[in-house]
Structure 1
Amino acid sequence: MVVDDDLDVDERVTRPLGWSRRALVAFGVLGAVALLAAGFLAGQWAPILTAPGDDSAEAGFARDMSTHHRQAVHMGMVEYDRGQDSTVRRIGYDIATTQQYQVGVMEGWLEDWRLPSTTDRAPMAWVPGGRQMLQPDGRMPGLASRDDLARLEAASGKDADILFCQLMLRHHLGGIHMIDAVLDASDDDRVRPLAEQMRQAQQGEIEALRELLKVLGAEPL
């Protein structure tokens, strides 16, 4: 054991025997670094450890609503390209750009949660009794069929305006059922605000689409 004779009595008592001043300083630095590293790792891992799981309502909603939105983006851009009425074309463009942005947000959630963007689970499996919400052929609520999309892609002018309004009206009504399902199931502070924004926007567009169909002399599907 080495005792530093230069130390006063109090310092000899408080300093561990055999430790020099330099060793104590080095030990203190290492301890501080360890604490900082632990805090950093806790900050990095805490969001992952508390994130929604792969079979959660939040993850299911993000995946299914992203798929749902992508169809709306496609239909909106078809109307913008092939429609005639300036108001309907503008709504189509607004829906496409808004929902494409929201797809990016939801994909960001899944990435942050370290979850895959796709799943083998059936659509709406994240909702209790979700199978009953599906259309007879297994499509999610409001999704247009392949034949519907083919008709829209082949239409132009006023015919495209009418069909777009009809299909998007049905699409939004189905989307609101999905939004309500996640709002009933989740208290996530990222999911709920976006879902509420979606609901408000789509409800407003539903009313606008109904009015436009009246102006165009057509009925909902």
Structure 2
Amino acid sequence: MKAAARTSRPLLLAGGAVLLLALALIALTFARPSASASAPAASAPAAAPAEGSADVGFARDMAVHHQQAVEMSFIVRDRTSDEAVRRLAFDIINTQANQRGMLLGWLDLWGRPISSPGAPMAWMGHSFTPRGDGALMPGMATDAELDGLRAAEGRKAEVLFLRLMTVHHKAGADMASAAASSAGTDVIRNLAAGMVRSQQSEIALMADMLRERGASAS
């Protein structure tokens, strides 16, 4: 109960930051400099990606994937005093909360709902069906695993977090790689390619951190 209480307020604050970032993104996208009488007419904005596009599907699915990564990072931050793990958690919170805000902002700009009744990852040719244990997509932790992280402390919490986040990042990098090669908009292709690089780098970092703690990713 105490762990849940510690986690809820930061998650609320992160959610507010995500919303503010999304609104700022929309405002910047629609902002246009005033045209003079002699200036050429501005080009028409590109058409929004289709509902079944890789762009829309990736934005929805990665926003959900990132939300859990942020949640796990807030949990471990309160379960250990190790500075290296807390620093990694802080980096994940900031990076993935900001990226999630961008994804939600693009969905709003395109006029697409943030959720869909369809199966997740269908846009990349997968037929993943949520199992009902909290893991909505590959790589996501189950409810039981999250409860275990909340109950752990110290080195045990560190190792569990690093293992869960390694699996989470690997699946996230696979999803981002698919979007980087199949999305129709530059903004999604570029964002997804950056996610692949950063998450692969953190996977390597977490492997080193696990070895330092006498553990492995499995």
Give the count of matched residue pairs.
Answer: 178
CA distance in 1, matches of 2:110, 2:184: 16
Q: Kindly state the Cα deviation for residue 96 of structure 1 after the two structures are TM-superposed.
A: 1.1
The TM-score normalised by the length of structure 2 is: 0.76
CA distance in 2, matches of 1:200, 1:83: 27
Query: What is the aligned partner in structure 1 of residue 148 from structure 2?
Result: 151
Pairing of 1:160-179 with structure 2 (within 5 A): 160-179=157-176
Q: Kindly state the Cα deviation for residue 111 of structure 1 after the two structures are TM-superposed.
A: 1.0
Higher relative contact order (Cα pairs below 8 Å, separated by 6+ residues): 2
- Percent identity of equivalent pairs: 39
Q: Residue 211 in 1 paired to residue 188 in 2? A: no
5+ residue gaps, structure 1? 1-34
Q: Kindly state the Cα deviation for residue 136 of structure 1 after the two structures are TM-superposed.
A: 6.5
C-alpha contact (below 8 Å) 1:84/1:161 kept by paired residues: no
Q: Residue 183 in 1 paired to residue 180 in 2? A: yes
5+ residue gaps, structure 2? 1-36
Amino acid at match of 1:93: F
Q: Deviations over 1:63-114 (max 9, x none)?
A: 0000000000001111112123210111011101110000000011111111
Counterpart among 33, 54, 57 of residue 54 in structure 2:
57
Q: Kindly state the Cα deviation for residue 218 of structure 1 after the two structures are TM-superposed.
A: 1.1
The TM-score normalised by the length of structure 1 is: 0.75
CA RMSD of aligned residues (A): 2.0
C-alpha contact (below 8 Å) 2:169/2:199 kept by paired residues: yes
Q: Deviations over 1:91-147 (max 9, x none)?
A: 01110111000000001111111111111111111112x116x68667312111111
Query: What is the aligned partner in structure 1 of residue 99 from structure 2?
Result: 102
Amino acid at match of 1:96: I
C-alpha contact (below 8 Å) 2:53/2:183 kept by paired residues: no
What secondary structure is seen at the aligned counterpart in 1 of 2:186?
coil
Tell me which stretches of 4 or more aligned residues in structure 1 moved more than 6 Å: 134-138
Query: What is the aligned partner in structure 2 of residue 142 from structure 1?
Result: 139
C-alpha contact (below 8 Å) 1:141/1:177 kept by paired residues: no
